[in-house]
A and B are shown apart, each in its own frame.
Chain A
């Protein structure tokens, strides 16, 4: 056992001011929020009790998880083939593909959300084309329901899954695949027994990341949900800004924080595992 005393890492003094600023600006408000969720004249759990008793809040929370799961699945279904396809491109084209994935990052979420209205609205490009071709008579209701929220969310969060997954796929040694082929495995078996298992940890980590981000989504559900897709962030906005119910909002936020931290822990384990397989 080491008896050496703990020493601050070199250069810590330079980081201290920033560290303190972060502590004050980010962690203090969280403490404040935790304090508020159990405050009142005396310590009490009444706001948590309220949360359990009025089932509407838990149902909105459940609805938020449902949307997050669906959006995550959509990102997984779209993202894996995309990343796999990008891996097979020649390096020059890979660069093009990566920039196409990253490009939307530089456009504001609000703009991208409204763009979906232009594309998928009743009078939008897609519906007009389909009607013009005589394939449908009435416009299809893409927007203003869960489908609209999932489309918008998946579009915005897809890069969070694709980029790390693509990076992980690039690191997979081609010789492993060649070795499997030389032993007589057909392409499908190589993918199923060699390639895919190697990508599972980063695939999972990307999925958890998308899931966590969807939990707190605000703008897209507000606009593309047409007011009929209650999500927790929008409800918190109401409780804080329209109703003076900060204590209840703090209790809900605490629940959300705990859940998110649990998922973050899962994410960490998965990404550590992914580092492990690639090393």
Chain B
């Protein structure tokens, strides 16, 4: 067996990594000590980022005097780059449920100190060893107000009775479960996903899909521009928008998380935990929900929300009941396979 340490490629890679971190360390080392006045957060951006600012960062900065600079969007690649070079520029990083599993497997995360976070009551699935779920969002069906409303994924797939162009996410994590539901699979039987059946179901509708979208801002825009008549969209982007109908029925409910990168300094961790505490306060969550109609992790949030707009929020009791939670573990275990088949499918479009 070749000794990995003597292998030229490994040596080059290690030397380069070493030199790289040396450069980074000398240039950023000074920042690390002065950071108590300011930390950086990596988040999804857009209205969601503004809701974080309004709901959680304002009270945090008021209490601690620490300024938080937001950076977006988050990506697993950026997190991995930070941890592997050992230069933790962002004390707190947003991840979706699948990325949390991937990051745990790559050992990119610090365990959370729940005592330091000292949370108010939150939903069980929001409390993990290395991540705190902070925001529920739904992937749901939406349509132009002048199109015939749909009430199930089977109807969304039914282009004869519900004519019009469709927009679907360019993300298999949403599109494949939806394709199975449309094909008649019961929500409780979704996992493990039957990939063959899901792709067969997609074949049936692909001719009517104008756009496979990447950014959450696209579906409402496509609907307004009359580019498509039906779209799968993220709830916060369409709920309450004029001219767009939507339903939470059989929508995919998901939870976005915040994490702390492995190697963060004690000061960075302390600050991150304090921000996480603010994310469990129902009043803060209500303030965040005013900016975008996603909801926080508190079971006590509902009475604080604007009661005339309750139907816009993914975690009100009436809405949470009719939705489906994902199984990030399954996605993590099958990520490679799914991604390759997804690319293959798109080449056939």
Give residues in A with beta carbon < 8 Å to B. Answer: 24, 28-29, 31-32, 34-36, 38-39, 41-43, 54, 56-57, 59-60, 63, 117, 121-123, 141, 144, 222, 226-228, 230, 235, 238, 240-246
Q: Are B10 and A24 in contact (CB under 8 A)?
A: no
Give residues in B with beta carbon < 8 Å to A. Answer: 1-4, 7-10, 12-13, 16-17, 19-20, 23, 75-78, 80, 99, 102, 105-106, 170, 210-214, 225-227, 335-336, 339-340, 343-344, 346-347, 349
| Smallest beta-carbon distance A88→chain B, Å | 41
| Smallest beta-carbon distance B143→chain A, Å | 16
Q: Are B13 and A60 in contact (CB under 8 A)?
A: no
Taken together as a complex, chains A and B put the C-alpha atoms of A243 and B344 apart, in Å, by: 16
Q: Are B349 and A123 in contact (CB under 8 A)?
A: no
Taken together as a complex, chains A and B put the C-alpha atoms of A240 and B349 apart, in Å, by: 24
Q: Are A60 and B347 in contact (CB under 8 A)?
A: yes
Q: Hey, which chain A residues are within 8 Å of B2, CB to CB? A: 42-43
Q: Are A228 and B212 in contact (CB under 8 A)?
A: yes
Q: Please, which residue of chain B has its CB at the minimum distance from the CB of A222? A: B214
Q: Please, which residue of chain B has its CB at the minimum distance from the CB of A230? A: B346
Taken together as a complex, chains A and B put the C-alpha atoms of A36 and B344 apart, in Å, by: 25
Our pick among B227, B340, B346 for the contact of A227 (Cβ within 8 Å) is B346
Q: Hey, which chain B residues are within 8 Å of A226, CB to CB? A: 210-212
Taken together as a complex, chains A and B put the C-alpha atoms of A193 and B103 apart, in Å, by: 64
Q: Are B347 and A63 in contact (CB under 8 A)?
A: yes
| Smallest beta-carbon distance B83→chain A, Å | 11
Q: Hey, which chain A residues are within 8 Å of B343, CB to CB? A: 56-57, 60, 230, 235
Q: Please, which residue of chain B has its CB at the minimum distance from the CB of A42? A: B2
Q: Are B16 and A28 in contact (CB under 8 A)?
A: yes
Taken together as a complex, chains A and B put the C-alpha atoms of A203 and B243 apart, in Å, by: 50
Our pick among B210, B335, B349 for the contact of A243 (Cβ within 8 Å) is B335
Q: Report 25 cross-chain contacts, Cβ distance below 8 Å, ordered by A residue.
A: A24-B20, A31-B12, A31-B13, A32-B13, A32-B17, A32-B20, A35-B9, A35-B12, A35-B16, A39-B9, A42-B2, A42-B4, A42-B10, A43-B7, A56-B343, A57-B343, A117-B225, A121-B225, A123-B227, A222-B214, A227-B211, A227-B212, A235-B343, A241-B75, A242-B75
Taken together as a complex, chains A and B put the C-alpha atoms of A41 and B4 apart, in Å, by: 6
Taken together as a complex, chains A and B put the C-alpha atoms of A117 and B213 apart, in Å, by: 14
Q: Hey, which chain B residues are within 8 Å of A63, CB to CB? A: 347
Report if A238-B20 is in contact (Cβ < 8 Å); known contacts: A228-B346, A246-B80: no
| B-side interface mostly | helix
Q: Are B225 and A123 in contact (CB under 8 A)?
A: yes
Q: Are B13 and A56 in contact (CB under 8 A)?
A: no
| Smallest beta-carbon distance B276→chain A, Å | 24
Taken together as a complex, chains A and B put the C-alpha atoms of A38 and B76 apart, in Å, by: 22
Q: Are B9 and A38 in contact (CB under 8 A)?
A: yes
| Smallest beta-carbon distance A265→chain B, Å | 24
Q: Are B78 and A42 in contact (CB under 8 A)?
A: no
Taken together as a complex, chains A and B put the C-alpha atoms of A272 and B210 apart, in Å, by: 45
Taken together as a complex, chains A and B put the C-alpha atoms of A242 and B80 apart, in Å, by: 11
Q: Hey, which chain A residues are within 8 Å of B347, CB to CB? A: 56, 59-60, 63, 230
Report if A243-B339 is in contact (Cβ < 8 Å); known contacts: A42-B7, A228-B212, A228-B346: yes
Q: Please, which residue of chain A has its CB at the minimum distance from the CB of B226? A: A123
Taken together as a complex, chains A and B put the C-alpha atoms of A34 and B346 apart, in Å, by: 29
| Smallest beta-carbon distance A56→chain B, Å | 5
**Apart from A43-B7, A123-B225, A240-B77, what 17 extra A-B contacts exist at CB < 8 Å?**
A31-B12, A34-B12, A36-B13, A39-B10, A43-B2, A56-B344, A117-B225, A121-B225, A122-B227, A227-B170, A228-B212, A228-B349, A230-B343, A242-B76, A243-B76, A244-B105, A245-B336
Q: Hey, which chain A residues are within 8 Å of B335, CB to CB? A: 243
Q: Hey, which chain A residues are within 8 Å of B76, CB to CB? A: 241-244
Q: Please, which residue of chain A has its CB at the minimum distance from the CB of B108? A: A244
Q: Hey, which chain A residues are within 8 Å of B1, CB to CB? A: 42
Q: Are A227 and B214 in contact (CB under 8 A)?
A: yes
Taken together as a complex, chains A and B put the C-alpha atoms of A226 and B211 apart, in Å, by: 4
Taken together as a complex, chains A and B put the C-alpha atoms of A171 and B294 apart, in Å, by: 62
Taken together as a complex, chains A and B put the C-alpha atoms of A210 and B195 apart, in Å, by: 40
Q: Are A43 and B16 in contact (CB under 8 A)?
A: no
Q: Hey, which chain B residues are within 8 Å of A41, CB to CB? A: 4
Q: Hey, which chain A residues are within 8 Å of B226, CB to CB? A: 122-123
| Smallest beta-carbon distance A152→chain B, Å | 15
Taken together as a complex, chains A and B put the C-alpha atoms of A90 and B71 apart, in Å, by: 50
Taken together as a complex, chains A and B put the C-alpha atoms of A179 and B96 apart, in Å, by: 71
Q: Are A244 and B19 in contact (CB under 8 A)?
A: no
Q: Hey, which chain B residues are within 8 Å of A228, CB to CB? A: 212, 346, 349
Taken together as a complex, chains A and B put the C-alpha atoms of A233 and B339 apart, in Å, by: 16
| Smallest beta-carbon distance B175→chain A, Å | 10
Q: Are B16 and A244 in contact (CB under 8 A)?
A: no
Q: Please, which residue of chain B has its CB at the minimum distance from the CB of A54? A: B340
